[in-house]
Chain A
Amino acid sequence: MANTDVLTMDILDLDAPREVDQICAQLRELLSKQLKRRGLVVAVSGGIDSSVTLALATRAVGAERVIALMMPEKHSAEETLHFSNLIADTCKVAKVHEDISEILKALGFYRRYDDAVRLVIPEYTENWKSKIVTPNVVDNTGFSLFSIVAQDPEGNEVKKRLPLKAYLEIVAATNFKQRVRKTLEYYHADRLNFAVAGTPNRLEYDQGFFVKLGDGAADVKPIAHLYKSQVYQLAAHLGVPEEIRKRPPTTDTYSLAQGQDEFYFSLPYDKLDLCLYAKNNGIDTHVVAEALGLTAEQIQRVFDDIDTKRATTRYLHLPPLLVSPVTEIKI
């Protein structure tokens, strides 16, 4: 246990100019020595992580060697395209707009998703909106099972716990979105001889908040070592517009607006940052509890949830496993 009696948010403060210089130097090194690619493709959502990644990529290799890929679909929030354009224009990089709705339709995504929801809400139609949610682990001592929240066109909400088949079908269908986007990212990377930059922050990377071969796939992940609070610090230093820096984090994945902390994470990002830091550095639950205004028991549940997510999402990080090694291939 560390000798830390008091914990405050400034423990995550970093030297932003120095961090940016280090990341940019490392990006140039990786591109030239390992990836052998001439630039970077960054998929932008208008959120803080992809905006910072785009700004870092631009600073590392120059605007002419970066493209911003915007890939909204029918369920994306209306403001997604506005914020994506804003950061791309701020960085003065080339933009490519690929609406993926028709691809998703051809894959049967919308039909498959709606059919899956109808397993638990038979009256659900394409005019409804929905999202999946999970109980807050801070207040919940039991198992956290997912529920679907659906809203009819009049605004009436229904919430139902998801049985296995419906849950798996909904997740499987929704994962089409991230995988289609990644396919397009690699199309543009291949035609330009660029590499693909992934956009996860440390919370997402550590806790497995990504789709395997979807947003989890990339050639380089420039901010995966940074706590989300630190990503915001870099955003301010890099000149990411305040409009983007002030937006609450969302998944922008389901048709009904969904905060990251009601779908996956147990606490808002700034509090979870502190918990993850404390857990990683052996800081006592009572000290964290004091800092966050929660009880030590609640912090312990957050710590346990961090361990659970690390264990259950480990396979997302794994490369394809070989039954017998091929020793000539070194990674």
Chain B
Amino acid sequence: MSDNKTLIKDFIVENFLFGNADGLEDGTSFLEEGIIDSTGVLELVGFLEEEFGISVEDEELVPENLDSLNNLEAYIKRKM
């Protein structure tokens, strides 16, 4: 697992799952599994912008970029 993916996973697990990572795979959809809701997306975007020094644009707010660890890893790689 890349360093970036580990950082993101740690954030997801600590912030949304109270430390319990059971069932969270690299391809798990956060939305379908009810891990992240609309406020959670805001929290995630805030984390990405602060942690990776990027700006998430409106048109980038799509599941293809944000809705799994794999998607997030690929998105961050493209942005950096």
Contact = CB atoms under 8 A, between A and B. Distances in A.
Interface of A: 141-145, 161-165, 167-168, 308, 311-312
Contacts of A167: 39, 42
A130 to B, nearest CB: 18
A162 B41 CA distance: 12
A145 B62 contact: no
B59 interface: yes
A63 B52 CA distance: 63
A121 B43 CA distance: 20
Given A141-B62, A167-B42, A308-B37, 15 more contacts: A142-B58, A142-B61, A142-B62, A142-B63, A143-B38, A144-B38, A145-B41, A145-B45, A145-B61, A162-B42, A163-B45, A167-B39, A308-B31, A308-B38, A311-B37
A251 B23 CA distance: 40
Given A142-B61, A143-B61, A143-B62, A164 B37 contact: no
A141 B61 CA distance: 9
A204 B29 CA distance: 28
A145 B38 contact: yes
Q: Which among A142, A143, A308 has the highest number of chain B CB atoms within 10 Å?
A: A143
Contacts of A163: 42, 45-46
Interface in B22-58: 31, 34, 37-39, 41-43, 45-46, 58
Contacts, number: 41
B37 A143 contact: no
Of the four ranges (under 10, 10 to 19, 20 to 34, 35 or more), the interface on chain B belongs to: 10 to 19
B34 A311 contact: yes
Contacts of A144: 38
Interface of B: 31, 34, 37-39, 41-43, 45-46, 58-59, 61-63, 66
Given A145-B41, A311-B34, A161 B46 contact: no
Nearest to A171: B39
Contacts of B45: 145, 163-164
B12 to A, nearest CB: 15
The 3 closest A-B pairs by CB, nearest first: A142-B62, A312-B37, A164-B42
Contacts of A164: 39, 42-43, 45-46
A168 B43 CA distance: 11
Contacts of A311: 34, 37
Contacts of B59: 142
Given A161-B58, A311-B34, A143 B41 contact: yes
A137 to B, nearest CB: 11
Q: Which among A161, A165, A308, A311 has the highest number of chain B CB atoms within 10 Å?
A: A161
24 contacts: A141-B62, A142-B59, A142-B61, A142-B62, A142-B63, A143-B38, A143-B63, A145-B41, A145-B45, A145-B58, A145-B61, A162-B42, A163-B42, A163-B45, A163-B46, A164-B39, A164-B42, A164-B43, A165-B46, A167-B39, A168-B39, A308-B31, A312-B37, A312-B39
Contacts of B34: 311
Nearest to A311: B34
A145 B42 CA distance: 7
A161 B45 CA distance: 12
A308 B40 CA distance: 13
Given A141-B62, A143-B62, A312 B38 contact: yes
Contacts of B61: 142-143, 145
A230 to B, nearest CB: 29
B60 to A, nearest CB: 8
A259 B43 CA distance: 26
Q: Which among A164, A165, A311, A312 has the highest number of chain B CB atoms within 10 Å?
A: A164
